[in-house]
Amino acid sequence: MSARMQGYNFAYLDEQTKRMIRRALLKAVAIPGHQVPFGSREMPLPYGWGTGGIQVTASVLGANDVLKVIDQGADDTTNAVSIRRFFARTAGVATTTHTDAATVIQTRHRIPEKQLREDQIIVYQVPQPEPLFRLEPSRAETRRMHGLSDYGLMHVKLYEDIARFGQVSISYDYPVMVNHRYLMSPSPIPSFDNPKMHMMPALQLFGAGREKRIYAIPPYTDVRSLDFDDHPFRATRAPHACGLCGATDSYLDEVVTDDRGGRLFVCSDTDHCTERRETGCVGAEGVPEAAE
Amino acid sequence: MTQPILQTEGLSKSFTLHLQGGVRIPVLADVDLTLLPGECVALSGPSGAGKSTLMRSLYGNYRAGSGRILVRHDGAMVDIASADPRTIIAVRDRTLGYVSQFLRVVPRVPALDVVAEVLVGRGVAVARARDAAHDLLLRLNIPPRLHAVPPATFSGGEQQRVNLARGFIGAHPVLLLDEPTASLDGANSAVVIEMIRQAKARGVAIVGIFHDAEVRDQVADRLFPVMPLQDAA
Amino acid sequence: MNDESLLSARGLSLHFGAIPALVDVDVDLWPGEVLAIVGESGSGKTTLLNVLSGRMAADAGVVWYRDPAGRLVDVHAMPAPALRTLHRSDWGFVHQNPRDNLRMAVSAGGNVGERLMAQGARHYANIRAEAMRWLEEVEIDADRIDDLPRTFSGGMLQRLQIARTLVTHPRLVFMDEPTGGLDVSVQARLLDLIRSLVARFSIAVVLVTHDIAVARLLAQRIVVMQRGRVVETGLTDQVLDDPQHPYTQLLVSSVLQA
């Protein structure tokens, strides 16, 4: 595709750093859900913009890979466009917006609607890798809790939600148990996406740049959202159909369309929505594809 | 021949007051007391002679200096003077009852439960234990309206009667009574005398200190003299 | 009478620099028994409590605990996870300041339910019902179940801590001055509550207190400590009514008679 920039190593990071990150990744894959510390590097973008995800992507990217980057499900937001262009220039890899065509997908806050495959890797950008950090301020203590699989406190949080609101009020970054062993933050994806992590054929990698942690879920791993027997986990979505493609099973974004209270619910996964419209699906507010 | 149920052999007791320069006060020396089932022995002697000290030593409340205090407990003789605390607790629970001069209880516990807990501690159902406590308190003229009240606010006589109910409800084979009628009027003393007689008839052995000679003569089979010792230099 | 002790310590010694906190201390505790450890501040009684419960290591000595399966375990040789599990199931710890144990940002029900959830309870309604039962057990209105502890009085906080501790039916509870810092009337109520709960559920208790009256009301046996040493031990009423050691005599004679 685009020509590689000169003067930088392949995919920006030097080989030593990539090797260090790959070692952390191997360890993370070996212990699903466990947070592995790594020597996070300064990247040419600020923390919170995906520094962890970028380093993981840079470490797993090969010359023949096809990269897709999404931000809240969209391929066309500033952040997604910048990161995609970054790797196009520093690694010279092909990029795509099609979930199907990608071999590596870096994401912020979503999992694509389309089921991922064994030959794909999904890289999550993670702001806060510690699922217990709001409940237990001491890092030493949370490490001990992970070590002993002592997660009663997380259930106390769920208990409090149900006692106060009648249901668990966590709508994103909903904690999961990985492989029946480690409590893990799925990154701030909507809880709607949680079930997609369970037994996913693709390798899932998580990078937290500022917090200097990497963790992973190998393909076909058991991932359960925490719940109570009598208050089972339920993935929720806005009770609407996508205004553009009419989908009733995808995660929706609410878009305010004017200053008179007008609003539109559309698929958050832009590629999914586009693909559906190309096959002729039309929502209430949509325009048939052929008329465009 | 009937076997003694309580027997002391060469029992001696002295107090060492470390805060008063270690002065040693001997109170009991070579006391040999034998008590048979169904018998009531009254300790006699001037006040300060050591009657209460002997009584408290028998109960294990004071630590015997030398000698033995044998009590038949669960069919075997146990030496209170050398038994470990848990054995003494077991002996007190089932064999050796004690009615002290003053009631000492947890604040806030109603009179009924103060009495009933002796049985509850042995595993008797709470309702049954309370029924028994209720009957006993009534017999001792503690009216039902007081049963639910903690005894801390009771008069001296009422507290004494709650204390007696607590002592008698356990039906221990050996009872130690320290001035059981000291603060009771004639009518209530008569009730206590009757209770003591009934206990004796059941075979309960009693050691008592009776300030009131009239009461003593009505219940005691014999006197056991306790005399003051010469202070050791 | 069960002759197998629940907890036994032999030869415990611990120095903080030149200060002896524990000197060759032996302790035994039997199931269902309340043992009081008394002594003035700095006598080593809280240190002893911490060493007995495995929260602090000693320089020398051993602490044996008989687990529910009847096996003797060396408390200080236990792997950390096993000790932690013990502390939140078969054992309990009641602190003088309930805020040290309670989660102040979590409702009363959540505080009581935490130990159940830590043990794997995953049925919300059952956890809540059990929490409610225990609130009533410690005389807290069941409709306070969703209130935060910071709206509770000092006595209620202490009772909440006790409910939180007893919800898993521990066989052994360590208590560090449980009635310290409370008003006298509140203290009496709490003492009565502790006494009846301990008796009803036959819980063994190691109770640290500087208050001899508390020891007399709650404990069958007593250990008197001075400068890290056990100077006298025995039946509570015998030790308090006929103290043998000079220090015990001083301690007993220093108490104001009410």
Q: What is the pLDDT of residues A136-194, one digit of tens each?
A: 889 999 999 999 888 999 999 999 999 999 989 899 999 999 999 999 999 999 999 99
Residue B94 to residue B215: CA distance in whole angstroms: 27
Tens digits of residue pLDDT in C162-171: 999 999 999 9
Which residue type, as a one-letter code, is found at position B86? R
**Residue C128 backbone class (left: φ over 0; alpha: ψ -120 to 50; beta: rest):** alpha
**Residue environment code for A91-111, b if the CB has 16+ CB neighbours within 10 A, otherwise e:** bebbbbbebeebbbbbbbbbb
**Residue A179 backbone class (left: φ over 0; alpha: ψ -120 to 50; beta: rest):** left
Block means of pLDDT (10 residues each) for chain B, length 233 residues?
Answer: 90 94 92 96 92 96 96 95 95 94 80 92 92 96 94 90 95 95 91 96 96 92 89 45
Identify the closest residue of chain C to A160 by CA–CA distance: C110
Identify the closest residue of chain C to B124 by CA–CA distance: C200
Q: Could you say which architecture CATH assigns to the domain B1-95+214-233?
A: 3-Layer(aba) Sandwich (3.40)
Q: Which tokens belong to A121?
A: 């890797």
Per-residue DSSP letter, B167: H
Largest CA distance in chain C: 56
- Cβ distance of C110 and A159 shorter than 8 Å: yes
- Cβ distance of C234 and B89 shorter than 8 Å: no
- Cβ distance of A229 and C124 shorter than 8 Å: yes
Residue C258 has pLDDT above 70, yes or no: no
* Reduced DSSP (H G I as helix, E B as strand, rest coil) percent helix, strand, coil of chain B, to 5: 40, 25, 35
Q: What angle do CA A50, A100, A286 make, to 5 degrees?
A: 90
Residues 83-102 of C with CB under 8 A from A: 84-85, 88
Q: What is the predicted pLDDT for the residue at A13? A: 96
Burial of B75 (0-12, 13-18, 19+ CB in 10 A): exposed
What lies within 8 Å, CB to CB, of A237 at 6+ separation is A190, A192, A250, A251, A252
Over residues C70-98, the mean pLDDT reads: 93
List chain C domain ranges. Answer: 7-90+170-257, 100-169
Residue C33 has pLDDT above 80, yes or no: yes
Nearest partner of A120 among A138, A135, A99, judged by Cα:
A99
ipTM reported for the complex, 2 dp: 0.91
In contact, B114 and B166? CB cutoff 8 Å: yes
What lies within 8 Å, CB to CB, of A114 at 6+ separation is A99, A100, A269, A271, A272
Which band of pLDDT confidence, cut at 50, 70 and 90, is reported for residue C118?
A: very high
Strands laid side by side in the C91-94 sheet: C91-94, C172-176, C204-209, C34-38, C221-226, C229-235
List chain B domain ranges. Answer: 1-95+214-233
Which residue type, as a one-letter code, is found at position B85? P
Q: How far is CA A285 from CA A263, A264, B77, in A?
A: 11, 8, 98
In contact, A45 and A54? CB cutoff 8 Å: yes
Q: What is the predicted pLDDT for the residue at A291? A: 44
Of these residues, A73, A246, A267, A283, which one is catalytic? A267
Judging contacts by C-beta atoms under 8 Å, the chain C residues touching residue A163 are 107, 109-110, 128, 145-146
Q: How far is CA B81 from CA B94, C190, C243, in A?
A: 18, 35, 15
Of these residues, A50, A242, A283, A286, which one is catalytic? A242
A137 touching C (Cβ < 8 Å): no
Residue of C88, C119, C124 lying closest to A159 (CB–CB) = C124
Which band of pLDDT confidence, cut at 50, 70 and 90, is reported for residue A129?
A: very high
Q: What is the predicted pLDDT for the residue at A289? A: 57
A62 is catalytic: no
Residue C2 has pLDDT above 70, yes or no: no
Which band of pLDDT confidence, cut at 50, 70 and 90, is reported for residue C1?
A: low
In contact, A240 and A159? CB cutoff 8 Å: no
Q: What is the predicted pLDDT for the residue at A292? A: 43
The model's pTM is: 0.88
What lies within 8 Å, CB to CB, of C219 at 6+ separation is C34, C35, C36, C205, C207, C236
How many Cβ pairs closer than 8 A exist between chain A and C? 58
Pairing of strands A223-225, A176-178: antiparallel
Per DSSP, the three-state class of C188 is helix
Q: Which tokens belong to A284?
A: 């209430």
Residue A288 has pLDDT above 70, yes or no: no
In contact, A85 and A120? CB cutoff 8 Å: no
How many Cβ pairs closer than 8 A exist between chain B and C? 58
Judging contacts by C-beta atoms under 8 Å, the chain A residues touching residue C84 are 148, 150
A33 is catalytic: yes
Residue C5 phi, psi dihedral angles, 5° rounding: -70, 155
> HEC string of A221-268?
CCEEECCECCECCCCCCCCCCCCCCCCCCCCEEEEECCCCCCEEEEEC
Residue C171 to residue C3: CA distance in whole angstroms: 16
A273 is catalytic: yes
Residue C19 phi, psi dihedral angles, 5° rounding: -85, 125
- Cβ distance of B61 and C250 shorter than 8 Å: no
In contact, A47 and A196? CB cutoff 8 Å: no
Identify the closest residue of chain B to C242 by CA–CA distance: B62
Which band of pLDDT confidence, cut at 50, 70 and 90, is reported for residue C200?
A: confident
Q: What is the predicted pLDDT for the residue at C224? A: 97
Query: Distance (Å) from the C-alpha of residue A172 to the closest C-alpha of chain C?
Result: 21
Identify the closest residue of chain C to A231 by CA–CA distance: C124
Query: Which residue shows structure tokens 């008839």?
Result: B201
A267 is catalytic: yes
> HEC string of chain A?
CCCCCCCCECCECCHHHHHHHHHHHHHHHHCCCCCEECCCCCCCCCCCCCHHHHHHHHHHCCCCCEEEEEECCECCCHHHHHHHHHHHHHCCCEECCCCCCCCEEEEECCCCCCCCCCCCEEEEECCCCCCCCCCCCCHHHHHHHHHCCCCHHHHHHHHHHHHHHCCCCCCECCCEEECCCEEECCCCCEHHHHHHHCCCCCEEEEEECCCCEEEEECCCCCEEECCECCECCCCCCCCCCCCCCCCCCCCEEEEECCCCCCEEEEECCHHHHHHHHHCCCCCCCCCCHHHC
Q: How far is CA C167 from CA C33, C93, C201, in A?
A: 19, 12, 11
Residue C231 to residue A225: CA distance in whole angstroms: 56
Q: Do chains C and B touch (3 or more CB pairs under 8 A)?
A: yes
Q: Could you say which architecture CATH assigns to the domain C7-90+170-257?
A: 3-Layer(aba) Sandwich (3.40)
Per DSSP, the three-state class of B174 is strand
Q: Which tokens belong to C244?
A: 């043998």
Per-residue DSSP letter, C143: G
Tens digits of residue pLDDT in A211-234: 999 999 999 999 999 999 999 999
Q: Which tokens belong to B65?
A: 């200096």
Q: Which tokens belong to A90?
A: 């520093």
Over residues A10-20, the mean pLDDT reads: 96
A281 is catalytic: no
Q: Which tokens belong to B95?
A: 């064999």
